[in-house]
Amino acid sequence: MSDIYEQYALLGISGRVLDFAAPVLETLRPRFAELDETAEFNQLRVIKAMQDAHVGEANLMGTTGYGYDDIGREGIERTYAGFFGTEDALVRPQITCGTHALALALSANLRPGDELLSASGKPYDTLEEVIGIRPSRGSLAEFGISYRQADLNEDGSISFENIRRGLTEKTRLVEIQRSRGYLTRPTLSIEQIGETIRFIRSIRPDVIIMIDNCYGEFTERREPSQVGADMVVGSLIKNPGGGLAPTGGYIAGTAECVANCAVRLTSPGLGKEVGASLGILPSYYEGFFLAPTMTASAIKGAVFAAACYERLGFDCFPKSADPRYDIVQAVTFGSPEAEIAFCQGIQAAAPVDSFVVPEPDTMPGYDAPVVMAAGAFVSGSTVELSADGPIREPYTAYFQGGLSWPHAKLGVLKSLQYLLDRNLITI
């Protein structure tokens, strides 16, 4: 134990912080064993999907130019469709981020005069401009697509009554956001998503149901597509990229929905037939292979963070004992100083840019200054150890990621050290 303490000391972690954390970790051992079982289950599912897709060495080769006859691109899309249990999938480096993937799925499957319904209340901040809630160039609203919102119940749960009122003859697509975004409502479980889908289908069996799956992949033993979703959408620099994918996004779903997305991504008449993979495929395949264990490491870090900060009296969402349906941990600090110190501590634990000091600043798509810790191998990768939050009341930081459990643990310890050194907590 003394050797470990010495190594942590070299990284600026005091014995005082380690002594505080040791009993917390001891209580989490049974929980961590459960997370490892889920990772094992999903690892086997990924391997089966890759084997069924006949992934071979030739699939790892890339293409340039138009990308015609790219067997590697076709193989990764078969792999995703197999894992998610869907008819087809679109997995492309040309999809730049999660917001782009969601915007693509929406714009490809909605037409002027259609209406979009959000069944999970207010969507994530960056979607507000996509939809046109906040006016923006090229929004759905500019193309004559209207929007309705089914607000959540007071406890943050899905309101079936509000969904019933929100569904109209114009409703073409219903969006459900699995994770909480910059809110403190509960993340939705697969069971809750399935129940919501069944309710929507009982009223409007013809609507398209899309799930914003960001941060949720591999956290359970099923995905939303296995409980009736027409599309599941996410980012490859979150869970499914396993920390290796340098960019990209995915849309898995029905053949019709995916075909619409492919046409919107490329061009009418071209669809899925073009799009060079540019040597990126090894990181896509290997990242997807590693993703279940990477996700488990990130969840362990989130549970550990909640357990530590609960003990210090801070509000945590979810609580350390709660089930986990995404990798995000919210901690409400009540002051901008503590929120900023937390994020600076996470940055200081990074292998890349550890010397950088995050400060709040404006960012595209957000309506308040944001402080962001993102010392990562892949810029903006939130499956790597990261934290961010808007500088507005109640001053909540959102912590996620960790490619390995030891690194996630170090990040939590470093954040505690930063708050302790600034007299913002007492241990």
Determine how many CB atoms are found less than 10 A away from the CB of residue 83. 26
Element holding 371 (H helix, E strand) = strand 370-373
Low-confidence ranges of the chain (pLDDT < 70): 1, 365
For residue 400, give the nearest of 323, 307, 313, 331 by alpha carbon: 331
**Predicted pLDDT at 303:** 98
The structure's pTM equals 0.94
**Predicted pLDDT at 365:** 66
Interhelix angle 281-311/15-27, nearest 10 degrees: 100
* Residue whose structure tokens are 């029905």: 254
**Predicted pLDDT at 366:** 73
**Predicted pLDDT at 126:** 87
**Predicted pLDDT at 102:** 98
d(CA 363, CA 312): 31
For residue 173, give the nearest of 244, 81, 102 by alpha carbon: 102
Across the strands, what pairs with 147?
A: 116
Distance of CA 57 to the CA centre of its chain: 29
* Residue whose structure tokens are 């495929």: 281
Going from the C-alpha of 216 to that of each of 181, 205, 219, 296, 399, the distances in angstroms are 12, 25, 6, 11, 14
The conformational region for residue 350 under phi > 0 = left, psi -120 to 50 = alpha, else beta, is beta
**Predicted pLDDT at 283:** 98
d(CA 273, CA 74): 9
**Predicted pLDDT at 401:** 94
d(CA 272, CA 74): 9
Residue 356 CB contacts under 8 Å (≥ 6 apart), including other chains: 347, 375
Going from the C-alpha of 327 to that of each of 123, 174, 359, 414, the distances in angstroms are 18, 24, 24, 19
**Predicted pLDDT at 1:** 55
